[in-house]
Amino acid sequence: MLDQVVCLAAVTIMGVLEQAYFSLQVIYARRKFSVSPPCTSGPSQFDRVFRAQVNCSEYFPIFIATLWTSGVFFNQGVSSVCGVLYLYARLRYFKGYSQSPQQRLTPLYFSARILWLLIALSCVGIFLCFWRVYVDVNLLQLLST
């Protein structure tokens, strides 16, 4: 049974490692610009790195929830590929935002599109599961015959 979620687990750990990387960048930025905790604002270059990390942290649980829902109810392979693309978009977002607010936009829109795709796949998977469970009709099988 674990074989049906092992790719999702691998993408999850990749996501955790990415978050760890972002956290380390904030620590380096704190040292570089002398912004000591509990303070959270400083020169705009620090603010951008800090906000990039906060934004990625905020979306992390949403990403994990949609990754697993679409992976379990729709398809593990498709969801895992989307997951890797999302993490790549977030990396580019973080690096872009560190440069300027403008440069965060392209990867941000791309990551949002992937999240919407994961949400759509989840909805399809849940919808098909509801029909199987509560109406006892396998819609996919019905369509293919």
Would you tell me which residues interact with its own copies (CB under 8 A)? 2-3, 6, 9-10, 12-13, 15-17, 19-20, 36-40, 44, 47-48, 50-52, 54, 57-58, 60-62, 64-66, 69, 72-73, 97, 101, 104, 115, 119, 122-123, 126, 129-130, 132-133
Q: Could you give the count of Cα atoms lying within 13 Å of 85 in the half-sphere of its Cβ? A: 17
Q: What is the DSSP letter of 34?
A: T
For residues 6 and 140, which CB has a smaller minimum distance to its own copies in the complex?
A: 6
Annotated active-site residue 132? The verdict is no
Ordered DSSP codes for 65-107 = HHHHHHHHHT-HHHHHHHHHHHHHHHHHHHHHHHH-SGGGHHH
Closest CA to 113 of 95, 89, 92: 89
For residues 86 and 97, which CB has a smaller minimum distance to its own copies in the complex?
A: 97
* Catalytic residue from among 31, 51, 90, 113: 31
Q: What is the DSSP letter of 37?
A: T
For residues 60 and 88, which CB has a smaller minimum distance to its own copies in the complex?
A: 60
* Catalytic residue from among 30, 48, 90, 104: 104
Annotated active-site residue 113? The verdict is no
